[in-house]
Amino acid sequence: MASFFQKVRSLPFTTPLILLGTIAALSCGGGSSHADPGGNGGGNPPPAASFSGVLMWKGDTTAKGLYSQETSLTPSNVRSESFGKLGEFQADGLLMAQPLYVRNVDMGTAGTHNLIILATEHDSIYALDADQVSAGPLWERHYLANGVTPLADDFGGRTTLGGEVGITGTPLIDSATGALYFVTTLSRNGTAEQWLRAIDIRNGNDFGPGSVQVQASVPGDGVGSANGQIAFDPSVQNQRAGLTKVAGTLLVAWGSFSDYGKYHGWLMAYDPATLQQKAVFNPTTQYQANDPVNGPSDHGGGGAFWQGGAAPAIDGNGNIYLTSADGSFNADQGGANYGDTLLKLRLNGSSFQIVDWFTPFNQACIDEADLEIGSGGVALLPTDFTNGTKMAASISKEGRFFLVNTDTLGQYNASADDQIPQEFMIGEHSCTTQIADAAEGPDWNRLYGNVSYWNGFIYAQASTLPLKQYRFENGLLNPTPLAQSPSASGLRGGNTVVSANGNQNGIVWAYEKTTQGRAVLHAYDATMVSTELWNSNMNAQRDQMGTGIGFATPVVVDGKVLATYDKSVAVYGLLP
């Protein structure tokens, strides 16, 4: 049997053609002698093109979750009698990664299609026709063969990802080339490997070199170090955050699997044409004997970049914003550890530079109670309602909201966060030193992923609480919600995006995994979220979804709403 298989549907409803092949991995940034278990031969980059749609996590590098050019869906027609499920497709594995959508892709003899791209925990990629999703794949790519399997999700003691770990972070599509970038995690004879991949969205074939095995090390004496170096360990590093680009360079971030193992946060930069590794950053490289917490992420470790699935945010000047989760912190003493910190980085050639940073005043408490700021990413906000100040929003598992000035993040103040423009609790419980263990379950109001923004409003839904709508007034947010949704969410909160036509017809779409485990998609009037327009349970026979996915994020584009559950994707829209 060959080392991969690929199916291509040349035209809708035709019998798939099976293609077979192998390729040896290129060794960039530290390579491997293993054969790439998913290659099908290197290919020259396709001719220049222009691709549009939803090509990354939440659609753009601001990560604020706004689809502002939606002309079809309005508060008046997103109703149960006129809006519902148009079709669905079941893949071969759990769909943790957000779907992507590409308009008008010329696929040669297969015609021109609006594509939905899916990535699964079974190490597979599917391309579907968005206008007839139930018809099956136009092409599919699978990376398992010859005894190569996904990594079991109990490998190293991690918590469940549906039984296996394959592709978890949301891929990225290059708008100029149509190359799709993603990371596969797999097991070869019981040994964990991770591979950065590049394929052509038009046919699923390799783009350029096709793949490179992820390997890296940085100087340091922190946890897991040997001979003054900390090496990337593919068995404990979870590629959960969405991929993105800065200044033409691909960025990939890694976190942990529920804080198991000797892990760190990792951010790596790659040349998208050659997949050559350009730079590596680790936020917790230093041994720290006086860490306040004695746990697996401490004493020079932790600092995972997972962000509830959010991609790093990139501003117009090429600055990179991301948050590190629980881990060692001594930056306030001039050290090199940045656990529980919002970081502002620059990519300077072959290295990342820390430009600025912000760490919450209660870092030691939230580290010990597993209430890190790193459960969400950074949303860059427009200056329309901030009196011209460049602002960014972030959140924490504690249920706290942070508004920072991106020109001066404020670093650390041990007594209070009064060095930043604003912070307040969206949740109802604050971290205290009396917490004996991790603060989790129905009594805690954790926040995950990013807040969403539209027209001077911020939307956020903590676990077991309603969706809350906040309004900018005189450059800051009024901490008293303007409105709340009629119902509360499950234990993962509500992951939100907003669709609108400019400053008109705003709709907040919130994805919930209920306490019973079912996925529910909600639509609220964005001017007043106390008005629920529709949800997928209103007409359950037609619209209901199955088992929900933690941190799943809906996509709204061209009159369609894409939502994943278990191994399936559902497409919602205006009914014929």
What is the span of the domain harbouring residue 276? 5-44+62-574
Please report whether residue 15 resides in a domain: yes
Q: Where are the beta strands (DSSP E) in 31-153?
A: 35-36, 53-54, 66-67, 83-90, 100-106, 112-119, 124-129, 137-142, 148-149, 151-152
For residue 81, being part of any structural domain is answered with yes
The pLDDT of residue 19 is: 32
DSSP of 415-426, one letter per residue? S-STTSSEEEES
Q: What are the tokens at 482?
A: 């303007």
Strand pairing category for 66-67 and 494-501: parallel
Beta bridge partners of 512: 494, 520
In the beta sheet, which residues pair with residue 520?
512
Distance CA 254, CA 242 (A): 10
Q: Is residue 398 part of a domain?
A: yes
**Helix or strand run (H / E) with residue 543:** helix 540-543
Residues 6+ apart with CB under 8 A from 523: 78, 83, 507, 508, 509, 532, 533, 534, 535
Distances (CA, A) of 428 to 157, 254, 313, 563: 31, 30, 28, 29
Burial classification of residue 224, based on how many CB atoms lie within 10 Å of its CB (0-12 exposed, 13-18 middle, 19 or more buried): middle
474 found inside a domain: yes
Residue whose structure tokens are 């590596």: 280
Whole-Å CA distances, 432 to 121, 350, 464, 553:
37, 41, 20, 31
User: Does the residue 397 lie in any domain?
Assistant: yes
- What's the number of domains the chain is made of? 1
Phi, psi dihedrals of residue 496, rounded to the nearest 5°: -120, 150
**What H or E segment, with its residue span, contains residue 486?**
strand 483-488
Q: Report the C-alpha gap between 513 and 492 in whole angstroms.
A: 7
Residue 530: inside a domain:
yes
Q: What is the CA radius of gyration of the chain?
A: 22
Q: Whole-angstrom Cα distance, residue 15 to residue 3?
A: 22
DSSP string spanning 157-198?
Answer: S---SSSEES--S--EE-TTT-EEEEEEEEEETTEEEEEEEE
**519 within 8 A of 512, measured Cβ to Cβ:** yes
Rounded Cα distance, 237 and 262, in Å: 9
Per-residue pLDDT of the chain (576 residues; tens, 9 = 90+): 333 445 554 333 332 333 322 222 333 333 333 556 666 654 444 454 599 999 999 999 999 999 999 999 999 999 999 999 999 999 999 999 999 999 999 999 999 999 999 999 999 999 999 999 999 999 999 999 888 998 988 766 566 677 899 999 999 999 999 999 999 999 998 899 999 999 999 999 999 999 999 999 999 999 999 999 999 999 999 999 999 999 999 999 999 988 888 899 999 999 999 999 999 999 999 998 766 655 544 567 999 999 999 999 999 999 999 999 999 999 999 999 999 999 999 999 999 999 999 999 999 999 988 899 999 999 999 999 999 999 999 999 999 999 999 999 999 999 999 999 999 999 999 998 777 566 777 778 999 999 999 999 999 999 999 999 999 999 999 999 999 999 999 988 999 999 999 999 999 999 999 999 999 999 999 999 999 999 999 999 999 999 999 899 999 999 999 999 999 999 999 999
Determine contact, residues 391/404, Cβ cutoff 8 Å.
Answer: yes
Record the pTM. Answer: 0.93
Compute how many other C-beta atoms are within 10 angstroms of the C-beta atom of residue 472: 20
In a domain, 373, yes or no: yes
- State whether residue 260 is helix, strand or coil: coil
Query: What is the DSSP code string of 336-394?
Result: SBBTT-EEEEEEETTEEEEEEEEE-TTHHHHHHTT--GGGS-EEE--STTTTT--EEEE
Q: What is the pLDDT of residue 298?
A: 54
Question: With helix as H, strand as E and coil as C, how does 209-258 read?
Answer: EEEEECCCEEECCCCCEECCEEECCCCCEECCCCCEEECCEEEEEEEECC
DSSP code of residue 136: -
State the CATH number of the domain containing residue 142.
Answer: 2.140.10.10
Residue 49 lies inside a defined structural domain of this protein? no
Closest CA to 52 of 117, 116, 101: 101
Tell me the C-alpha distance between 92 and 569, whole Å: 12
Q: What is the DSSP letter of 445?
A: -
Total H helices, total E strands in the chain: 2, 47
